[in-house]
Amino acid sequence: MTDDTATERAVGATGHCDERFAAVRTAFERNFLERDELGAALTVTVGGERVVDLWGGWADGARTRPWQRNTVVNVWSTTKGPTALCAHLLIDRGLLDPDAPVAAYWPEFAAAGKESVRVRELLSHRAGLAGLREPHSLEQLYDWELTTSRLAATEPWWEPGTRSGYHVLTYGFLVGEVVRRVTGLLPGEFLRREVTGPLGIDFTIGLPEEEAARAAELVPPPAVPDSEQAAMIARFAPVAVAALANPPTVAADAVTPAWRAAELPAVNGHGTARAVAALYGIYAGHGRLGAHRVLSAETVERIREGQGAGQDLVLGAGLGHDTEIALGLWLSGPNGSYGPNPRAFGHDGFGGSFGLADPEAGIAIGYVMNRMGPHIADDPRKLALIEAVYEAVEAR
């Protein structure tokens, strides 16, 4: 038995990996051996060709269910990329103007001094609505009409357009309600009808009950002692506390029937690594996925227009460096969060998942997992995989 075979059996890795990308397979396996991976899948496409398609490990914490080719998992904020795609489809079709006031589509939104907030400020987390000011329970979060009506009525935390502050949960309701006002459809249904259904992409916002049996169990990161948690929260400004903890959401919520049945377009997308790579591959392919034109190349260029770099008002204390959000996704920037191309872009999900698009290199990556790490972004597993992909591409 070779060392490679022994490693494969140890981590249960299976699937396809081009010989040119053997180092990517090695990085994927090392995540199991060195970074406490439990179950995961990775898909990489280059120029539309699927060069890596691996999965392995376990779909549950008890290690009774092997991760399968069609295992889906809640990808948390990696969902924001497909939700942004819904808005950009409407922009591409001339049905939504990124520079128009949100109130032109959602009149109630003009309350509390928000009459001039533009659609682009919703997309770029610059609307000042990173969290609600009044207490909002998880059960209330599942109520679309209640949550959107409260957002429409609330006052911004800062002057819209001047700074970015990550809209952790509210992003999906804000962008999603604009999509609903234009199309009459919630973003999950719009995405299904316009993209994932026609293209056969295994990704849903929420999860139909009949699909629950193939969903991986999320395993939370190690618990933080109460004293450390209190000290950590004390570092955050009130807006950050509102964004991150009103209501608090934890891994255990994301495996409940109520969470899966809800429309939470910022955080409860479920899919495979193939699906994430396909959705972000639309961006990487300048609007094309295989033979299908989904967006115009001009719209893809607009998506990655930076809206101003700086320390994020919500995540800044945790990240420790400046970031820049474009129209719905994060730019790689000088930090290299999505590879060496500063104009590559993508989105991380709570715990470690991510989608990446690099139109210059033609690279798209989808990575999903179920053992959640403690990092806000740039999980070490993610960074190891991205580094290996770009090294393999440069060596071709």
CA-CA distance, 294 to 86, in Å (whole number)?
11
Find the catalytic residue in 77, 124, 332, 337. Answer: 77
Please report which helix (H) or strand (E) contains residue 271, including its range.
strand 269-271
Residue 236: count of CB within 10 angstroms of its CB: 19
- Per-residue pLDDT at 267: 98
77 in active site: yes
For the stretch 85-138, pLDDT in tens is 999 999 999 999 999 999 999 999 999 999 999 999 999 999 999 999 999 999
304: helix, strand or coil = coil
Please report which helix (H) or strand (E) contains residue 357, including its range.
strand 354-358
DSSP state of 310: B
Distances (CA, A) of 134 to 143, 172, 284: 15, 18, 39
For the stretch 284-294, pLDDT in tens is 999 999 999 99
In this prediction, the residues of the chain whose per-residue pLDDT falls under 50 are 1-10
- Per-residue pLDDT at 227: 64
Share of the chain above pLDDT 70, in %: 94
Nearest to 346 by CA among 275, 284, 267, 264: 284
Distances (CA, A) of 73 to 15, 172, 207, 266: 18, 18, 9, 15
- Per-residue pLDDT at 11: 60
- Per-residue pLDDT at 7: 42
Contact indicator for 58, 65 with CB cutoff of 8 Å: yes
- Per-residue pLDDT at 108: 98
